[in-house]
Chains A and B, each alone.
Chain A
Amino acid sequence: MLKPIWNALGDIRLAVILLLTASATLLTGTFYAEDHFSLFMALNHMRIQDWLPAQWASRPELVWWIPVLFAIMALLGINTFACAANRFLRLIGQRRNMAAGRFFYLLTPSLVHFLFITIMLGHLATFTAGRWQRLPLAADSPIAVSPEAPAYRVAAIRDEFYPESSALGGRLRQTAVALEGAGGEALQLQYGWPVFIDGRFLLIDKAPQGEKAQKKSMPAGSPPDRRPGPASAEAREASVGRPLLMIVSDPGLAVIILGLTLIMALMIGYFLFKSKSAKWIAAVAVLVLLGAHPAAAPAAESRPEELAQIAARIEKLSPDPAFKDDRYGLILIYITPDEKGSMVSRMDRLPPFWQDRARDCDYRLAVCSPAVRQLARDLFDFSIRTRDKKKEETK
């Protein structure tokens, strides 16, 4: 009873459907967020459980997609967990038969999926347990970072502007805020350079009017009228805005950033390694199959059903599209030199299906060590001997 439910939850088709639904919901949200900027921006500094009920009560037609998105992401998390856990357990079962490096390589996609779940949980922690406090900044004013810690005092606020001689003249370049603790300890804050104290991040934020001034529409007039020059005092004031101190407590931050960094590193490492190694791994499998099977011999022309089976087995062995090169389609690397004239040099004697397939492929003799080449030769000879033996027994 439970197994079918578990299998259904871990079905990759469900993952595709959920991801596409999540994408459609996010895209829908894009339109709402664009038309109601301040409504959704408020959610950046509020917990979802404080924001959503109030908005749901007053304007459900604007916010309906947020609970839908949370539901889809929850289902996606469950699906991802079931899918990755199945794969992980299968790999653990095969652990003894493979080298540590190969085991870790195969484990990477599962790790990436577990990390994806962790990141989603990190976001959930941020949305439900984050705290954002905004305080006005004024010289000599006290700042209480947390109830337990002693207060800081704003020692100085210093604005830095672009040089008057430049086209950006008079516009704000940076603001430095010096904080001084009760014990004389000094902290320096700048835009884009937060400080971490007492488990909280301190950032400088700007009051909304500054942002509007930065993004105001192009003024009317011909282009030369709009040419740069030192900004007016009004523009200068607008570009400065009113600096605010933001105190952020985000329990999901470390999980999100660490998770994203690891996912990024694992994905890039996996694909880099895959593009180099997959061709070898799959090629050996294909070599063994072709070598061990009469398909390599001209006599195989009369056995199309077996060829179809081989095709299916190859597809199973190398479902990895990285094995395919977009220049040539499928690359098959063979290790045993084709001295006796078989699979590579006598393709014209293959059945039509294989001839069609071979047309898209590029066959190359692998560059490998003599030991590997000997191993491939032994495997090939062994399979030929086995075939001949079977033929004799049949006779």
Chain B
Amino acid sequence: MFTTGVHACLYAAIGLYGIAWGLAVFHQRRPAAAVLAVGFILQSLYLIGRGWLGGVFVVHPVVEGPFLLPWCLALIAGGRFLIAPKAPMGGLLGLVAAFSLFCLFYGKGMIPPSPERESVWAALFFLSESMAHALFYAAAWMAVLSLAGKAPPHAYYTWLVWGFSLYTVAQMTGALWCFVGWGNTFSWGSRHLSSAAIWTFFAATLHLQFVPKWKPKSAFLAVAGGLLVLYISYGNYLHEMRHLRVGG
């Protein structure tokens, strides 16, 4: 793949995401969307190129969380622009720029995959999990805006609903991957336990909507949920930085 090991694509995408954010802050929606689209294409090429980091195609580096998350956020921001061109873009693009900045400092190589990692279920798991995380971060940001009075009171709810639905997809694909790889649908390891903690937390947040007196608190829980996801997922990513990496 011609973009394998070409980090310029990633750096350019990060720069473009930053520019798109700046344009959105100054209410230049269309130019912001155009710049975002170019950044998204470049990052897509970079992600595909990561598959060949080891010289043969391996799926796992393509769906590695720190690199996939900004891509998911960019996809969501782009999709939102297409559906609702007049909707504010600044917040979402700020998230895209912030999370993509982390890629600058993160190990670009790939963790040598074990045979169990090269399962289609693993790829589906990481894809659905990253997309769910992206929606949870978007929901947390919208909840912050709601609490600040700069967005309607329950603006974050739709994001939460879709984040939770996709996180349930991740639970299913993860359970299948775990079973075909290790013979369990639930593993008593920190990864599975933290994943279940996130799922139950957001289930509680969604149910809060149906308790009229507690409903106003759900925005706080949406923000707390975003922070919980950040703490758990980026804690794992930082831990994985110590692993042996090849290529990149």
Q: Which residue numbers of A lie inside 8 Å of B, CB to CB? A: 12-13, 15-16, 19-20, 22-24, 26-27, 29-31, 33-34, 37, 40-41, 43-45, 123, 126, 132, 162-163, 165-169, 171-175, 190-194, 201, 203, 205-206, 210-211, 214-219, 226-228, 239, 246, 248, 250, 252-253, 256-257, 260-261, 263-264, 267-268, 271, 275, 319, 321-322, 324-330, 360
Contact = CB atoms under 8 A, between A and B. Distances in A.
The 8 A-B pairs of least Cβ separation, nearest first, read A166-B55, A19-B204, A191-B115, A326-B155, A26-B197, A329-B152, A260-B172, A228-B246
A384 B246 CA distance: 76
B149 to A, nearest CB: 11
A360 B157 CA distance: 16
Given A26-B200, A250-B179, 20 more contacts: A30-B232, A44-B187, A123-B185, A126-B184, A132-B183, A190-B115, A192-B180, A217-B242, A253-B185, A263-B168, A264-B168, A268-B165, A271-B165, A321-B154, A326-B156, A326-B157, A326-B158, A326-B159, A329-B153, A360-B152
A215 B189 contact: no
Nearest to B172: A260
A257 B172 contact: yes
Given A257-B185, A260-B171, A218 B193 contact: no
A321 B209 contact: yes
Contacts of A40: 188-189
B58 A219 contact: no
B204 A23 contact: yes
Nearest to B58: A168
A165 B52 CA distance: 13
Contacts, number: 215
B105 interface: no
B247 interface: yes
Given A33-B193, A321-B154, A328-B152, A257 B54 contact: no
Contacts of A192: 115-116, 118-119, 180-181
B216 to A, nearest CB: 13
Contacts of A29: 188, 193
A44 B186 CA distance: 8
A144 to B, nearest CB: 18
B24 interface: no
A124 B232 CA distance: 26
A264 B172 contact: yes
Interface of B: 53-56, 58, 84, 86-87, 109, 111-112, 114-116, 118-119, 142, 151-159, 161-162, 164-165, 168-169, 171-172, 175-176, 179-190, 193-194, 196-198, 200-201, 203-204, 207-211, 214, 228, 232, 242-247
Given A16-B207, A175-B115, A216 B244 contact: yes
A205 B243 contact: no
Nearest to B152: A329
A201 B244 contact: no
Most A-side CB within 10 Å, residue of B119, B162, B181: B181
Contacts of A217: 242-244
Contacts of A215: 243-244
A203 B180 contact: yes
B157 A166 contact: no
Contacts of B182: 44, 203, 205
A26 B54 contact: no
Nearest to B176: A257
B200 A167 contact: no
Nearest to A126: B185
Contacts of A169: 55
Nearest to B184: A44
12 contacts: A16-B208, A30-B190, A40-B188, A41-B189, A126-B185, A132-B183, A167-B247, A216-B243, A228-B109, A326-B142, A326-B157, A327-B84
Contact of B114 (A214, A271, A326): A214
B152 A271 contact: no
Given A41-B189, A214-B114, A326-B156, A191 B168 contact: no
Contacts of A324: 152, 154-155, 157
B162 A271 contact: yes
Contact of A168 (B56, B184, B187, B193): B56
Contacts of B53: 167
Contact of B185 (A174, A206, A252, A321): A252
A168 B142 CA distance: 43
A128 to B, nearest CB: 13
Given A321-B154, A322-B158, A126 B245 contact: no
Nearest to A324: B154
Contact of B200 (A23, A168, A239, A252): A23
B161 to A, nearest CB: 6
Contacts of B161: 271, 322
Contacts of B151: 326
A205 B179 CA distance: 11
Contacts of A22: 200
A383 B40 CA distance: 54
B234 to A, nearest CB: 14
Given A165-B55, A214-B114, A260-B171, A203 B183 contact: yes
B185 A256 contact: yes
A108 B234 CA distance: 35
Nearest to B158: A326
B204 A26 contact: no
A218 B84 contact: no
A330 B152 CA distance: 9
A218 B245 contact: yes
A260 B214 contact: no
B115 to A, nearest CB: 4
B152 A321 contact: no
